[in-house]
Amino acid sequence: MKKRSAFVMIIPGLVILAVCLFLPLLRVLIPSLHTGEYPLSAYVSFFQDEYYRKIFVRTVKVACLTTGFCMVLGVPTAYFISRCGKKWRGILLSVSIFPMMTNSVIRSFAWINILGSNGLINRILVTAGIVEKPLKLLYTDFAIIIGSVYLFLPLMIVTVAGVMENIGDDMMEAALSLGANRFRAFMKVIFPMSLPGIIVGGILVFTGTLTAYTTPQLLGGNKNMVLSTFIYQRAMSVGDWDGAAVISLIMIVVTLAVIKGFNSLAARLDKRGGDHA
């Protein structure tokens, strides 16, 4: 009886998802499967085109590098926050989340002022005599990665910190008492126990970077296009809605594949941990 009641309660949500999400997606994506001389020919043509492949590779590369940098920066930060007192923990988490309260357009324009030819970094480098002329930092893959890390790092910190808060200090103390240094104790004890949060954070950062539009458009420009900006160009500038649908389905498949890969990795690591135990 309880299961039946629970099923009845989720019916409105399922109906809303079906009407507002799945049906529009299917209406856009299904025609793209039959565009061209034979089924899926549009997708074959996409990966045969060198220009399209470069955009695809750039998008995946930016998403992977952003996820990696967020993990490297976010995990130690989350551990530090999780080991602070409750008062300071709340303050530091608030500071970490604060950038998310600012519109992504504003944050991207801030990076334009920092990375531009007359921006803060180039002015410092030229004034110090390190370089003779301003470096090209803006409208590059580097600029997109920097902006994406700034955009999604709070997600990684908050997700991992929430898991690390539940790991007792006695786990680290036990490892130290057995002769391990703090770094080795962290890597052998704290890090494996934090993997669920790290994997969830990695999924959020990767999918967010893969589908982000504002930051790549403002910091990458038209010469460093990614899939999300490419969709906008095909649909709004060229009027090629079938081409935009092809790119959209490719992004959906990549996102689902990455989520599946992260979940498989988590399952293998969990199994390995159980075998060692």
* Residue 230 to residue 228: CA distance in whole angstroms: 5
Under the banding of pLDDT at 50, 70 and 90, the label for residue 62 is very high
Q: What is the pLDDT of residues 220-255, one digit of tens each?
A: 988 899 999 999 999 888 888 888 889 998 998 999
Greater pLDDT, 21 or 158? 158
Lowest mean pLDDT among 103-107, 122-126, 263-267: 263-267
* Residue 204 to residue 162: CA distance in whole angstroms: 15
144, with CB counted inside 10 A (0-12, 13-18, 19+), is buried
**Maximum pairwise Cα distance, the chain:** 76
Under the banding of pLDDT at 50, 70 and 90, the label for residue 100 is confident
Under the banding of pLDDT at 50, 70 and 90, the label for residue 47 is very high
* pLDDT for residue 160: 93
Under the banding of pLDDT at 50, 70 and 90, the label for residue 147 is very high
- Could you give the C-alpha distances from 44 to 7, 157, 227, 229, 265, in angstroms and in order? 41, 39, 16, 21, 29
The whole-number average pLDDT for the span 193-218 is 91
- Could you tell me which of 209, 214, 231, 211 has the C-alpha nearest to residue 103? 214
Residues in Cβ contact with 45 at an 8 Å cutoff, skipping those fewer than 6 apart = 36
* Residue 176 to residue 186: CA distance in whole angstroms: 10
Where helices occur in the chain by DSSP H, the ranges are 2-17, 23-33, 41-48, 50-82, 86-97, 104-115, 120-127, 141-164, 169-177, 182-185, 191-211, 214-220, 227-232, 241-276
* Residue 142 to residue 220: CA distance in whole angstroms: 9
Contact 227/251 with Cβ under 8 angstroms? yes
Look-up: residue for tokens 């409750």?
86
Q: What is the DSSP string of 76-104?
A: HHHHHHHTS-HHHHHHHHHHHHGGGGS-H
- Could you tell me which of 69, 85, 59 has the C-alpha nearest to residue 227? 59
With pLDDT > 90 as the criterion, what percentage of the chain qualifies? 36
* Residue 193 to residue 166: CA distance in whole angstroms: 10
37: three-class secondary structure by DSSP = coil
The whole-number average pLDDT for the span 150-157 is 93
* Residue 265 to residue 244: CA distance in whole angstroms: 32
- Could you tell me which of 201, 99, 75 has the C-alpha nearest to residue 147? 99
